[in-house]
Amino acid sequence: MATMNVSLDDELKAFASSERVRERGFATVSEYVRHLIRTDRELDRVRTLVREGLESGPSEPFPEDYFEKLRDRLPEG
């Protein structure tokens, strides 16, 4: 694993190292930062999918029973 140094002001360091790590259950600040980067990457993917959907043309409404039929196909559990 590669190492990266990041400079933070005292307020951001305190926020990351105590509040977020403790509240969200991360073991270390590094784990929290990796989570933030992964989340940002996932948001890029979502934005791309939304953009592609918007550019794909007009949509048609779902039939009223669409979601009921979809639920009926799910395994019991």
64 and 51 in contact (C-beta within 8 Å)? no
Condensed to tens digits (0 to 9), the pLDDT of residues 40-77 reads 999 999 999 999 999 999 988 989 999 999 999 988 86
pTM of the predicted model, to two decimals?
0.65
Do residues 33 and 15 lie in contact, with contact meaning Cβ atoms separated by under 8 Å?
A: no
- How do residues 13-48 score in pLDDT, each as one tens digit? 988 888 789 888 999 999 999 999 999 999 999 999
Q: In whole angstroms, give the CA distance from residue 1 to residue 5.
A: 13
